[in-house]
Amino acid sequence: MAGECTADKGRSFLPQLVTGGILPVMETTMTNAMNLSKRALGVPTSPTLAITARVKELKAAGEDIIGFGAGEPDFGTPQVICDAAVESLRAGQTRYAPTPGSPEAREAIAAKLRTENGIDCSASDIIINNGAKFTVYLALQAIVNPGDVVLLPTPAWVSYKPMIELAGGVVREIPAGPDSDFKMTAPQLEQALDGQVRAIILNSPSNPCGTMYTPDEVRALAKVLQSHPDVAIIADEIYERLVYTDEPYLSMASLPEMAEQTITINGLSKTFAMTGWRIGYACAPGHKGEVIKAMTRLQSQMTSSITSFLMTSIPAALQKATAEVQAMRETFASRAKLIHGLVSQWPGVTCPQPTGAFYIFPDISGCFGKTSAGGVKIKAAMDFASALLDEARVAVVPGEGFLGCGANHVRLSFACSEEDINRGCQRVREWLDQLT
C-alpha cells in the first residue's frame, strides 16, 4: 500500500540515529540549563546537514569516505556570476539594500518566471531571501496561524515539518510510496482537505525522492485545489531545472486559475551551484501583493535584505549562465542513469528511476532483520546508514527524517563525481553481499 512503512515504528529517528557508531549525535532534546525556549528545544538538527558536516570532519581526519549525503552540486559557481559579485563589491555596493531585493534583481526573477515558467508576474510580486530554506520559513510565517493544518505529501524534505511547527501549524501527512513514484494522487489530496487546512507544500522534483509530477499530474492536483481557494499552495520548485525525463516541467502557478493561490519558491543554490551564496526567492502574484508585503515585513524585522553586493549576481545567473547550467544539467542526467543502474544491482534493494533533482531513494527494507559483517542488526534505515558508514565508509542519509515510508529508504545524492558513484556503489554492493 502507498506509504506503508515496514520499518520498526516504535523507534524514534533523531535521538537514536547514533547507534554507537560513526554518525553524529542529533539531539532533539537537551538539558534546559539556560532556560531555552520550548521552541528551540523542540527543533531537531537537520540530519542531512549533520551528516554532511560529519563526512567533512572524517575526510579532514584523513578517512577515505565516499559521501552521498550532501544535497549540493559539486561544481564551482559559474565565473560570470562570481564576476558580477566582485564588480559590485569593488564598486562599493556594501550598504543596506531594499528588504525584498533591488528592483533590477526582482525584475530579473520576474522575467525568468514569465518566460521560463509561464507565470504571469511582475517585480513587485517577488521577494528575495537568504536561501530558499528561509523563503519557505517566511512563507509559512506569513500565512499560517497556530492550529492551522498544513498538508505535507511524504516522504518530504526534512526541514518542512520543523518549519510548519515553528509557525504553529499542525502537519497532516499525505503518504505516498514507491508504487506511485512517491507522488500523492488527486483522490488522496481530496480526502486530506477539510476546513482546517490552510496550506499545502508541494515539492517537485522532490528531495528526497528524486521524482517529479508530470504536467497531467499537476493539472489533476490543481483541479482539486481550485475548489479549495482558501488553501495556499507553497510550490517549492528549487529543482525545477534539474529534470531528466522527456516530460516538460509545469509550474503550478502557470495555470491561470492557480496563480493567486500559489506561492512559488525557488532559488539559485541548486541550479547555479550557489549553495553558499544563500539566495532564494518567492513569487506571489495576486491578493494585491499582500503575501509579498507580509513576507517583506517579517524579513525586515529578521534579516533585512540579502547581502547587498550579491544582487547583481542574480541577473547575471539568470541571463548569462545558460551554457554552464545546461552542462551541469547534462552531467547530472548522466549520473542519474549511472547511479540508477548501479543501485538496481544491489541485492535486496529496489529503486525507481530518478527523474529530477539529484537524489535517488532506494528501498532498503529488504535488509531489515539481517546482520552486517560488523555485527549490527539492521532494523531500520538508521542502522543501515550507521553500519554502512562504520564498516564500508560510505555516507548515505537514513530516510526516517523524511517521514512517511522514508523509514524504509536511504537517500543518496549524486551531486558527486562519476568516480565516487562507481566506487561508492561498489563498496555498498560488497557490504550488502556480506549481510547474513
Q: Does 280 bind ligand PLP (CB under 6 A)?
A: yes
Binding span for ligand PLP by CB under 6 A among 11-19, 126-134, 209-217, 405-413: 126-134
E strands within 304-414?
Answer: 359-360, 394-395, 397-398, 410-413
Single residue of 125, 236, 324, 400 touching ligand PLP by CB under 6 A = 236
Q: Which of 66, 132, 143, 144 binds ligand PLP (CB under 6 A)?
A: 132
* b/e code 182-218 from CB counts within 10 Å (16+ = b): bbbbeebbeebbeeebbbbbbbbbbbbbbbbbbeebb
Half-sphere exposure of 158 (CA within 13 A, CB side): 20
How many residues sit close enough to ligand PLP to count as binding (CB under 6 A)? 13
Lookup: cell for 434: 556480506
The answer to whether 81 contacts ligand PLP (rule: CB under 6 A) is no
Q: What is the DSSP letter of 306?
A: S
Q: Could you tell me which stretch among 127-135, 147-155, 212-220, 367-375 binds ligand PLP (CB under 6 A)?
A: 127-135
Q: How many helices (H) and strands (E) does the chain have?
A: 13, 12
Q: Judged by CB under 6 A, which of 149, 202, 238, 421 binds ligand PLP?
A: 238
Q: What's the distance, CA 236 to chain centroid?
A: 8
Instruction: Give the separation between CA 436 and CA 426, rounded to whole angstroms.
Output: 18
Using rule CB under 6 A, residue 399 touches ligand PLP: no
How far is residue 55's CA from residue 420's CA, in Å, rounded to a whole number? 14
207 binds ligand PLP (CB under 6 A): yes
Residues β-bridged to residue 410: 398
Contact range with ligand PLP by CB under 6 A, out of 35-43, 98-106, 125-133, 242-250: 125-133
Nearest-approach distance from CB 79 to ligand PLP, in angstroms = 21
400 binds ligand PLP (CB under 6 A): no
Closer residue to ligand PLP (CB): 116 or 390: 116
- The answer to the question of residue 121 lying near ligand PLP (CB under 6 A) is no
**Nearest to ligand PLP of 112, 133 (CB atom):** 133
Q: Quote the CA–CA distance of 217 and 427 in Å, as a whole number.
A: 37
CB of 238 to ligand PLP, least distance (A): 4
Q: Is 133 in the site for ligand PLP (CB under 6 A)?
A: yes
Task: Please list the residues that pair with 281 across neighbouring strands.
Answer: 128, 266
Residues that bind ligand PLP (CB under 6 A): 71, 131-133, 157, 203, 207, 236, 238, 267, 269, 275, 280
